[in-house]
Amino acid sequence: MKTYVVGNWKLNFNVGEASIYLHKLQKKLPTYRDVEVVIAPPIVALQPLSLQIDRHKMKLAAQNAFYQDYGAYTGETSFNQLRGLTDYVIVGHSERRYIFGEDDKMVGKKVAAAVRNKITPILCVGETENERAFLETTDILRDQVLSGLRDVSEEDISKVIIAYEPVWAISSVREARIASPDEVAEAVRIIREVLKDMYGPKAAENTAILYGGSVNPSNAGAYLTIPGVNGVMFAASSLILSEFLDIIEVAKRVRL
């Protein structure tokens, strides 16, 4: 299985800035066979970057999309419209859930729409600080995984990636704290148990699970060496060229 390094640029870089950054990144980035480098730029930059990107070195992800393929949905972008532009799409990020009010039902529809349109969804799941304090982590993760994958068949689960992103560890959250490897390992174990119940042991073992939450060059190695963690997703360090490259290099060393 590949090791994934996913940089979520969130609401940063205009089209020109994104193009310049990608040029610099590609110039310094070797081609790795076992490490899948993915960047998720703002939606306005996806089309021009799709013409610029060297897909042997990295892939594109959308940060979000709408679950209907077409219709009267002003301001939305469908997964169908993203076909050919992007290989991945982030679905159910905590900022979509808690700022924009996307519930588990909508997240499930988006995962299904991504698979239907042959785009790999990166399904984000994770608990808040209060939910963890009240010992609800297992229930939250189970509910989010069950809901997110409710329309994904046993045949299609291989086309889905899951990212564990505890809300309390995301750097944009006030007073965010760093998740320990033990906390991440336990959450990943819970997620794989849910997958096992849904699809069986082989699918549970073969589904890629990423960790996201204040990942940087100094802690990426600790997360990438956790059993069952197949990659990392991060925002702040993906905006700094040297840090992004350092994390990619860490991922490559872990693969050796």
Write the CATH number for 227.
Answer: 3.20.20.70
112 neighbors 66 (Cβ within 8 angstroms): no
pLDDT at 170: 79
- The pLDDT, as a whole number, for residue 175 is 61
Residue 58: count other Cβ atoms within 10 Å of its Cβ: 23
pLDDT per position as a tens digit, 161-202:
999 999 988 766 556 688 999 999 999 999 999 999 999 999
Q: Is 93 a catalytic residue?
A: yes
What pLDDT does 251 receive? 97
Which one from 93, 102, 127, 183 is the annotated catalytic residue?
93
Amino acid at 79: F
* Domain hosting residue 29, numbered range: 3-255
Q: Please, which residues have CB within 8 angstroms of residue 176's CB and are 6 or more apart in sequence?
A: 168, 169, 170, 213, 214
3-class SS letters over 177-202 = CCCCHHHHHHHHHHHHHHHHHHHCHH
- For 14, 98, 111, 229, the CA distances from 208, given in Å and listed in that order, are 31, 25, 15, 7
pLDDT at position 172 is 63
Please give the structure tokens belonging to residue 172. 């944009």
Catalytic residue (one of 36, 102, 165, 183): 165
- pLDDT value at position 174? 57
Task: Give the total number of structural domains in the chain.
Answer: 1
Say what percent of the chain tops pLDDT 90. 93
- Position 173 scores a pLDDT of 57
Is 23 annotated as catalytic? no
pLDDT for res 168: 86
Residues of the chain with pLDDT under 50: none
pLDDT value of residue 176: 63
CA distance 145 to 88: 18
Q: Could you give the CA distance from residue 149 to residue 120 in angstroms, rounded to a whole number?
A: 13
